[in-house]
């Protein structure tokens, strides 16, 4: 899924869902290699 353009709504929706579900998201980014987003949900 590299080099795909979007309008940025995906992370916004993710944040809204995580807020309601008491979860959180982390991001690790390495210049020139990309980013990894990890989502944690409360059980």
What are the pLDDT digits (tens) for 1-43? 556 677 778 888 998 999 999 999 999 999 999 999 999 998 7
Q: Measured on CA atoms in the order 14, 17, 23, 24, is the torsion positive or negative?
A: positive
pTM: 0.62
Give the pLDDT of residue 31: 95
The Cα–Cα gap between 15 and 21 comes to 10
The Cα–Cα gap between 12 and 6 comes to 12
């Amino acid at each position: 899924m590299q080099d795909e353009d979007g309008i940025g709504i995906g992370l916004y929706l993710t944040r809204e869902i995580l807020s309601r579900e008491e979860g959180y998201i982390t991001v690790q980014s390495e210049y020139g290699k990309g980013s990894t987003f990890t989502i944690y949900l409360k059980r």
